[in-house]
Structure 1
Amino acid sequence: MKSSHKRRVLAATLLLGASPLAFAQEAPETLDTIIVTGVGPQRDTDEMIGNATAINRDELVQKLSGTLGDTLASEPGVSTTFFGQGASRPVLRGLGAERVLVLTNGIGVIDVSAASPDHQAAADGIDAEKVEILRGPAALAYGGQAIGGVVNVIDGLIAEELPDEPLSFDGLAATNSVSDGTETAGKVRYTTGPFVLTLSASARDFGNYDIPGFAESSRLRASEEHEEGETHEEGEEDHDHEHEEAYGTLENSFLQTGTFAGGLSWVGDNGFLGFGVRHQTSEYGLPGHEHAEEGHDGEEEAEHEEESPFIDLEQTRYDFRGGMNLNYGILTDVAANISVADYTHTEFEGPGEPGTRYDTDGTEGRLEVGNLIGNIEGAFGLQYLDKKLGAFGDEAFITPTKTKNLGVFVYETYELNDDAGLEGGLRFDDVELDNSVAGKVDFNLVSGSLGAHAHWGTGWFTGVQLSYTERAPNESELFADGAHLATSQYEVGNTALDKEKGTNLEATIRWENDWLSAGGNLFLTDFDGFIYLTPGSTLNEGALTDVVDGVPVYLFSQQDAKFVGGEIYGEAKIPQSALSADWTAKASVDFVNGELDDGGNIPYLPPVTFHSSVQADWKLWTVQANMTIAADQDDPGAGSLPTDGYTTFGARAALKLSALGFGKEGTQLFVEGRNLTDEEVRYSTSVLKDTVPAPGQNIRAGIKVSF
């Protein structure tokens, strides 16, 4: 790590512990945030051993970006697989893709976003009411794919309670300078008797975005110049290689999305039943992606035809959900969810030239029954998934695969007294993957956890949890065999892979009083048979080679690994302080280190990252300033270059129109600046970090209305 970024992160960490103390005054009482994601009784964030976050609608509007991973990237312990404006998934504590489960209303998104970082997740938060994040193993609730955590996007299409008002509307319209883009969203809810009708729509239109300098990082340009110099010295043919390097604007980074959704619910005194449908379309460019035309002799032609590949995506999803209070013996309630989705996306090599097509259709259902036996409260249930994945075309790096998963689970909490408790559970899964070429593989999985927590009269909360999770390899890890040009890799799966086993130990400590809260989570995750991509060789046309179709070969391998990390966070709320404003200060630092059993580095880990913000509410105005400091990532893993750190600044001002009598609370005009110093930002968690930087300086303005 560069010494400057070391000093910045160290200073910021010290500031995290010291800054809230400067605001010590009496503050108003705040309500805890209820987390609905999980299994068993619903609890607020302050009652959970793990680090859980709930982001409400107003916060989502402030953080909103083109994709889900980018929207959540400023949260403690969260990063992004950033693939330009069009695709990203959240990375939790250094784990992403197949180890972080993205849900919509508690059911999987049923797409192909976990198969590749250039595939967009079929949930992005633009029309969500809330997003919940559970860091660390949540496999007891959702299976082995949640070994890294869960992100649950709650859209509110199916109402579970009658709204306070018979008619309501929430809308958003905004524009940004970095891509000359616009974004709009609207949701209307109408109630008549026991019925609730919800309709929503949203759209984005982002052009190619501005970047501070070259698209290629200085490290990559230096390595290319070094390689070219060595080739010239060896006397090989000089191609007079000329770079037409992108500068100032990232070509082919556009994004266009549209969603239409509706839901109808019946809400009674002791239950609800509802149906929802959501249709989503998206078209986005794949930046940093070039194709080389091949001659008839199989050799790459000297002159390359650069194309502008893009993805055209469409998904229709149907949700059925119901719940009922039972109060029958030890049974307290029952809830059932069923989702059916039809997803397809086509990767176009250029205008009017369809290439590879991915089709996924699936059904996922979940049944959960609550129970109460004395001081023991919890739930048991089952979950079922039936999904088909098909890939067709010249660049289909995976053959059609059917996946079936049946899981049963139980989770119970036991209150020892008002100040302490125990919790734990078990889950069993049977997973079958049936590939059209390689045949069937089966995995029997077991997960379990045991935790304890205690409250102390001085405002302290402490907890510790031990969990064990097993995850089955996914379709790509088992069956991939082909050039994946979006990531510039020839991926080779391994049908001999064993299930991945993870043992996680996590400890938490929190303290709060009327105006200040602070806490931290430390974790250790020990993997037996961690699955990862690493450079290697494969047989091609009878010869062993490390380059196929012009891209390097990467193999899915398995090795023991260990992750150590944590999050430290604090918040202070001070009413009527300086300038007679209500002040809120937040700060956090997160870190994770991962190492393979042979001493090698795990690729695509986030660096030590510090976030902070200060907000003032004053009469008609809300004003905020924020800062992010990311250290260098000097341990990039095999086949990757180190990543430089960065420091970014942002600011936001909002005029409260509701205070002027227009709309309900939350109605506002806003203007904000992101990355105000036009810093070059590259995410070490992105496979395209050296060719696709994050957007530069951006001014975003808009209006949010609620009636």
Structure 2
Amino acid sequence: MKLLGHVAAAVVVAWAPVAFAQEASGSAATDAADDLEVIEVQAHPLSGEGLADTTTVVEGEELRRQAEPSIGATLADEPGIHATSFGQAVGRPVVHGLAGARVRVMEDRIDTMDASVTSQDHPTTVEPFIADRVEVLKGPGTLLYGSGAIGGVVDVHTGRIPHTVPDGIQGRAELRASDNGERQTGAVRVDGGGGGFAWHLDAYTRDAGEYDIPGFAESARLRAMEEHEEHEHDHEGEDHDEDAEEHHEDEEDHDEHEEEEEAYGHVPGSQLEMSGGALGASFIGERGFAGVAISTNRALFGLPGHSHAHHDHEEEHHDHEDEHAEDEDEHEGEHEDEDEHHEEEEGNPTLDLEQTRIDVEVGLRDPFAGFSALNFRMGRNDYEHVELEPNGVVGTRFTNDAYEGRVELVDDDLAAGTVFGLQFSGRDYSVVGEEAFVPPTQSDSLAVFWVGQFAFDGIDMDAGLRLGRVTHDADHLDEAEHDHHEEAEDHHHEEGEHEGEVEPPHGSEDFTPWSASVGIFIPTESEWQWGFRADISSRAPVIEELFSHGPHLATQSFEIGDASLGAERATNLAATLSRTTERFSFHATAYRNGFANFIYQHWTGEEEDELPVAAYAQDDASFVGLDLAVEYKWLEFDNGDVTLKLMYDFVDAELDISGNGNMPRLPPSRIGLGINGNWGDLTASLNYRRMGDSDDVAVNELPTDGWTDVRAYIGYHLQAAQGLEVFLQGRNLTDEEQREHVSSIKDLAPLPGRTLEAGVRIRV
């Protein structure tokens, strides 16, 4: 009912400026149509020049070339940004070594409202191929969208709700096909309108099989560790009696059979099918616009690295081993059942996702005295995905019914630009099934914020404040969910497990996070500009950190939350040096991020359900790093130019604890070189990237070898068909084994091997 009130208010507010504008224009609306086409209400209040030195922007041709199925992979070549690879379909951004809830991913200034924060195997539901522009905000600008975004805010601009009436019908389409996994992608978007009405339409589809790799799916270090553990297990079994030895020989034969079937040359479970689209429309008057959009996403893809079958088999095997001495005949019968079950469960699980989303937006110019603009934005989301066992049975069902809204008032008189705002959201999250490691939880938040830009004596300054309230209520099981949990609990007790288990965390937890940020930018006479930024941010724990309690096979762990966790606080200091001229661009950022009560997972050394226990804890931590990007236009001639590029980044982090304080899954250092050329209608580029070794690893984490990536691109604009481009690009041209250290399955699923992709783009 609370949401219905928000929606009703949104409809009333949405119609108000349109009705007012139509009444004011009267019969002159038709005559004024040409004027309406140039009206634009700034939807992203401070995304302009004032925040340029704390914003990474990818748009236009650069975005078209970098676009990948996930937003993380799309941005992974930008300095300071990596991706949590989990197959082709999944990858969230990692910014300055911070991931998960510390990096907020949005679609048109509203959260994606999916389940990607819950686990690395859950995708973000934004489509890079449809986007007009992607921004990565850091510093004061993040306070517009959430104090918990300590790492940054990734905002994907889709234009699905038009702000202006386009000049005729505009559109673009793209088709591409890859040899690796036979991946095929198609995307189209069209914008049009007239006479105070604008509309938008987009659609995309993607299909791929399992992708190829140059070696084993499992890393050499993981295979060596498994061989060592198997050798120790064999040594422990030397004193078994004769019957046990015979059983052990059968087990060895079975293990050898498994080894023979170990994945080589491809990644099992890396296939995908994805599709979606959106329809949007806006009424545009002399003083603003009001619009609505409805979008949908559908995905069915494999989950590489999952071990449902392996886990179940191991559990049954140990049960049979214990019963062997009691009844050999009974054991043999059960062993046959085990083999049948193993065959039934062989393969990787899949994830079947559906999302429907409705967005409303209103922009009003000069709403009342003292303010230049009023912006209202709201989204409502119906999200569900199920994880299907290899035999097609539903294993776990995730639902996330959520809404988020924001109201912004822009005052251009108080400073160079000032925004006052209110943001509210609600989330009803539920996980039911064998991997229900988080209880059903209702989360609500409310926040007020202020962000301003100032200019005085040649110095630009940005500043921001934010105060919020966050509530997580994990104590509202409905009858069906309660019965399911009781049945699961009774089953475990029948198996003789978890009898001493601690009751899962539950209840209601409230937090009041607040944040402040200030940045100054000092130009010099030599065109160099210095920038300094200081942020104090706090983040409320998310429900997974508070209430997790159960097996999470995606991360190969039994996760345990801690309902006593407090708010996380970060103090970030950053210095930038930049210069931009017609032929030269330089940007460097050095930063230090100190955390009090940093929330992280650690291995306890215990086991539950034959999985290692990963518990959430809090300790102080620190991050230091450097980002560098340089471009130099080396050659210029009548119909083209040649540009050289250099990028470098590194981040180092440690926990303030005794013993091994290395931060888990920390990105390695990275250096990249590139050359881009334009000759009339021909465009070409060659890029080299070297990823460093990851040797300083956390407890129970394996090191990762560095690797090289060589990429090439060539495109040609056909003059006979204006707006048409054909292109060919290659990735990992040296066919090297590549493993992202930030990925939780990096030892089970490397990145794709050599990949060639051809495509065509058209713009009208």
TM-score normalized by the length of structure 2: 0.83
Corresponding residue number in structure 1 for 2:151:
148
Deviation at 1:233, TM superposition (A): 2.8
Q: Is residue 319 of structure 2 the alignment partner of residue 299 of structure 1?
A: yes
Give the aligned residue type for 1:426.
L
Per-residue deviation, residues 272-318 of structure 1 (Å, max 9, x unmatched): 11100101000110012222336789837775442320000000000
Deviation at 1:575, TM superposition (A): 5.4
Q: Is residue 198 of structure 2 the alignment partner of residue 196 of structure 1?
A: yes
Distance in 2 of aligned mates of 1:283 and 1:574: 46
1:429 alignment partner, one of 429, 448, 468: 468
Give the aligned residue type for 1:299.
D
Give the aligned residue type for 1:263.
G
Corresponding residue number in structure 1 for 2:482:
none
- 564 and 37 in structure 1: CA distance in 2 versus 1, 3 angstrom threshold: farther
Q: Would the aligned equivalents of 2:449 and 2:466 in 1 still touch at CA under 8 Å?
A: yes
Distance in 2 of aligned mates of 1:407 and 1:375: 22
Distance in 2 of aligned mates of 1:327 and 1:459: 39
SS where residue 224 of structure 1 aligns?
helix
When the two chains are superposed, the root-mean-square deviation of aligned CA atoms in Å is 2.0
- 521 and 57 in structure 1: CA distance in 2 versus 1, 3 angstrom threshold: same
Corresponding residue number in structure 2 for 1:410:
450
Distance in 2 of aligned mates of 1:37 and 1:522: 30
Distance in 2 of aligned mates of 1:523 and 1:297: 51
Q: Would the aligned equivalents of 2:645 and 2:674 in 1 still touch at CA under 8 Å?
A: yes
Worse overlay, 228-237 or 623-632? 228-237
Distance in 1 of aligned mates of 2:231 and 2:641: 60
Corresponding residue number in structure 1 for 2:511:
443
Q: Would the aligned equivalents of 1:424 and 1:450 in 2 still touch at CA under 8 Å?
A: yes
Distance in 1 of aligned mates of 2:610 and 2:69: 31
Deviation at 1:255, TM superposition (A): 0.9
Deviation at 1:327, TM superposition (A): 6.8
Q: Is residue 497 of structure 2 the alignment partner of residue 477 of structure 1?
A: no
Corresponding residue number in structure 2 for 1:18:
none
SS where residue 74 of structure 2 aligns?
helix
Give the aligned residue type for 1:596.
L
Corresponding residue number in structure 2 for 1:669:
726
Give the aligned residue type for 1:73.
A
Distance in 2 of aligned mates of 1:75 and 1:116: 23
Corresponding residue number in structure 1 for 2:237:
235
The structure with the larger Rg is 2
Give the aligned residue type for 1:487.
T
Per-residue deviation, residues 20-52 of structure 1 (Å, max 9, x unmatched): xxxxxxxxxxxxxx9x897x533238x5342x2
- 137 and 379 in structure 1: CA distance in 2 versus 1, 3 angstrom threshold: closer
Q: Is residue 563 of structure 2 the alignment partner of residue 558 of structure 1?
A: no
Q: Would the aligned equivalents of 1:137 and 1:504 in 2 still touch at CA under 8 Å?
A: no
Q: Would the aligned equivalents of 2:83 and 2:92 in 1 still touch at CA under 8 Å?
A: yes
Deviation at 1:330, TM superposition (A): 2.6
SS where residue 486 of structure 1 aligns?
helix
Give the aligned residue type for 1:482.
G
Q: Which structure exhibits the higher relative contact order, with contacts defined as CA atoms closer than 8 Å and separated by 6 or more residues?
A: 1
Deviation at 1:617, TM superposition (A): 0.7
Q: Is residue 108 of structure 2 the alignment partner of residue 48 of structure 1?
A: no
1:105 alignment partner, one of 81, 105, 108: 108
Corresponding residue number in structure 2 for 1:63:
66
Deviation at 1:655, TM superposition (A): 0.9
Deviation at 1:232, TM superposition (A): 2.4
Q: Is residue 277 of structure 2 the alignment partner of residue 260 of structure 1?
A: yes
- 443 and 102 in structure 1: CA distance in 2 versus 1, 3 angstrom threshold: same
Q: Is residue 168 of structure 2 the alignment partner of residue 166 of structure 1?
A: yes
Q: Is residue 665 of structure 2 the alignment partner of residue 597 of structure 1?
A: no
Identical positions, percent = 36
Q: Would the aligned equivalents of 2:568 and 2:599 in 1 still touch at CA under 8 Å?
A: yes
Deviation at 1:132, TM superposition (A): 1.0
Distance in 2 of aligned mates of 1:118 and 1:79: 16
Distance in 2 of aligned mates of 1:213 and 1:677: 13
Which runs of no fewer than 5 residues in structure 1 stay unpaired? 1-33, 538-545
Q: Is residue 679 of structure 2 the alignment partner of residue 618 of structure 1?
A: yes
Corresponding residue number in structure 1 for 2:95:
92
SS where residue 227 of structure 1 aligns?
helix
Q: Would the aligned equivalents of 2:116 and 2:123 in 1 still touch at CA under 8 Å?
A: yes
Deviation at 1:137, TM superposition (A): 7.2
1:628 alignment partner, one of 677, 681, 689: 689
Q: Would the aligned equivalents of 1:138 and 1:149 in 2 still touch at CA under 8 Å?
A: no
Which runs of no fewer than 5 residues in structure 2 stay unpaired? 1-39, 241-247, 321-334, 477-505
Corresponding residue number in structure 1 for 2:262:
245
Q: Would the aligned equivalents of 1:492 and 1:556 in 2 still touch at CA under 8 Å?
A: yes
Distance in 2 of aligned mates of 1:635 and 1:265: 53
Per-residue deviation, residues 157-205 of structure 1 (Å, max 9, x unmatched): 1111222x21122100000011111000011112121111111110000
TM-score normalized by the length of structure 1: 0.89
2:120 alignment partner, one of 117, 139, 143: 117
Give the aligned residue type for 2:623.
F
Distance in 2 of aligned mates of 1:226 and 1:587: 42
The 5-angstrom pairing of residues 173-192 of structure 1 reads: 173-192=175-194
2:566 alignment partner, one of 476, 498, 521: 498
SS where residue 513 of structure 2 aligns?
strand
Q: Would the aligned equivalents of 1:138 and 1:146 in 2 still touch at CA under 8 Å?
A: no
Answer 1 or 2: which has greater helix percent: 2
Distance in 1 of aligned mates of 2:663 and 2:363: 43
Q: Would the aligned equivalents of 2:728 and 2:757 in 1 still touch at CA under 8 Å?
A: yes
Give the aligned residue type for 2:48.
R
2:534 alignment partner, one of 454, 466, 479: 466
Distance in 2 of aligned mates of 1:168 and 1:661: 19
- 376 and 614 in structure 1: CA distance in 2 versus 1, 3 angstrom threshold: closer
Distance in 2 of aligned mates of 1:588 and 1:168: 35
Distance in 1 of aligned mates of 2:177 and 2:226: 38
Distance in 1 of aligned mates of 2:629 and 2:533: 19
Corresponding residue number in structure 1 for 2:627:
567
Distance in 2 of aligned mates of 1:679 and 1:481: 39
Corresponding residue number in structure 2 for 1:310:
350
- 137 and 556 in structure 1: CA distance in 2 versus 1, 3 angstrom threshold: farther
SS where residue 623 of structure 1 aligns?
strand
Q: Would the aligned equivalents of 2:139 and 2:533 in 1 still touch at CA under 8 Å?
A: no
Q: Is residue 346 of structure 2 the alignment partner of residue 341 of structure 1?
A: no
Give the aligned residue type for 1:641.
L
1:128 alignment partner, one of 126, 131, 134: 131
SS where residue 730 of structure 2 aligns?
strand
Distance in 2 of aligned mates of 1:37 and 1:531: 34
Q: Would the aligned equivalents of 2:140 and 2:462 in 1 still touch at CA under 8 Å?
A: no
Distance in 2 of aligned mates of 1:375 and 1:487: 48
Give the aligned residue type for 1:257.
M
Q: Is residue 728 of structure 2 the alignment partner of residue 655 of structure 1?
A: no
Deviation at 1:262, TM superposition (A): 0.6
